[in-house]
Amino acid sequence: MQVSRLFALVYALLEKGTMTASELSERLQVSVRTVYRDAEALSMAGIPIYMSRGRGGGIALLPEFSLDKAVLTEQEKSEVLSSLHALKKVAPDTSESALKKLGTLFNKPEADWLEVDFSAWSAPLGERERFALLKNAVLEKRVVSFLYVSNKGETLVRVVEPFKLCFRAQAWYLYGFCRARKACRFFKLRRMRELAVLNERFQRDSILSAKREDYAPSDLIEVTLQLAPQAASRVLEEFENAQQMEDGSFLVYFRMPHGEPLFQYVLSFGEQCEVLSPAQARQEIARRLKKMLERYE
């Protein structure tokens, strides 16, 4: 007798209420005789299951039966279901099954007050496949390897012990121990190519307790931008403490690594942006813009 089949029978009854032996037989892919035998085994094990004959009869659980007695509060149950509801956007196949089972066990309808969509407007092909591979690697503690394109445009082979998947700044990242750098790093999924999950398993755990700030870039600089009034929507979205000037423009302050990331970010504002400080960043951006202009002369 399979224990998983017995749980499947209980799940079915919690979800549907009363079911006939024929319905359970079709759902569980076993004979009607096996259904009756399983129901009897559950009853002997203390599960309040009963069978009734005649029109409208069938196999059912007592209405007050629940598998979650005093395990979670009502608020905690709702939070778990809401989290899984959001996770459906990432892994719809697995989370849909878990959401359905937990909703049934908690005797609560699916929480539907929260809508989360992690997909980008132009998400590249393969990102979902990479996410699924990395998720399994994290859970099974398997080492992964991939080609990775750095901020400098270099493509290098990385071998990583994966710890977790993180959603930061509108993109998915893998957080793990990079054997080449001998330190923890964040790797953007969209920059990965030729991802492979290796047979090798790793045991490293203690580093998970390290603070996220410990692995922040060390070359951050203080930047001040003046943004035109037309950039107001992005100012509201991207900056908490922007200062609006009399002419309607905005002064914004933030920290960012010097070099390519800063240049690309400033360039995304087009003519609506001016770098006020630091001086070296202003000079570097002016140099790059002149070099770009030469291509159009």
Q: Which residues contact 224 (CB under 8 A, 6 or more apart)?
A: 251, 252, 253, 275, 276, 277
Tally the domains of the chain: 4
Q: Looking at the predicted structure, is the pLDDT value of residue 233 above 80?
A: yes
Is residue 122 assigned to a domain? no
Task: Please report the pLDDT score of residue 228 as a whole number.
Answer: 95
Asked which of 105-109, 128-132, 162-166, 244-248 is least confident by mean pLDDT, the reply is: 105-109
Same domain, 230 and 280: yes
Residue 196 · residue 144 · CB < 8 Å: yes
Domain final residue pick, 47, 82, 117? 117
Return mean pLDDT, the chain.
80
* CATH code: domain of residue 145: 2.30.30
Task: Please report the pLDDT score of residue 214 as a whole number.
Answer: 45
Is residue 175 assigned to a domain? yes
Top mean-pLDDT range of 37-46, 190-199, 232-241: 190-199
Tell me the pLDDT band of 46, cut-offs 50, 70 and 90.
confident
Same domain, 279 and 225: yes
* Global pTM value: 0.54
Same domain, 75 and 110: yes
Choose between 287 and 216: higher pLDDT. 287
Domain final residue pick, 214, 236, 254? 214
Tell me the pLDDT band of 126, cut-offs 50, 70 and 90.
confident
* CATH code: domain of residue 227: 3.30.70
The whole domain housing 30 covers 3-61
Name residue 26's beta-bridge partners. Answer: none
Choose between 66 and 6: higher pLDDT. 6
Query: Phi first, then psi: what are they for 280, rounded to 5°?
Result: -65, -35
Q: Which amino acid appears at position 12 of this protein? A: A
Cβ atoms < 10 Å from Cβ of 86: 16
Is residue 73 assigned to a domain? yes
Q: Looking at the predicted structure, is the pLDDT value of residue 181 above 70?
A: yes
Q: For 261-285, what is each residue's pLDDT tens digit? A: 888 889 999 999 999 999 999 999 9
Calculate mean pLDDT across residues 214-220: 58
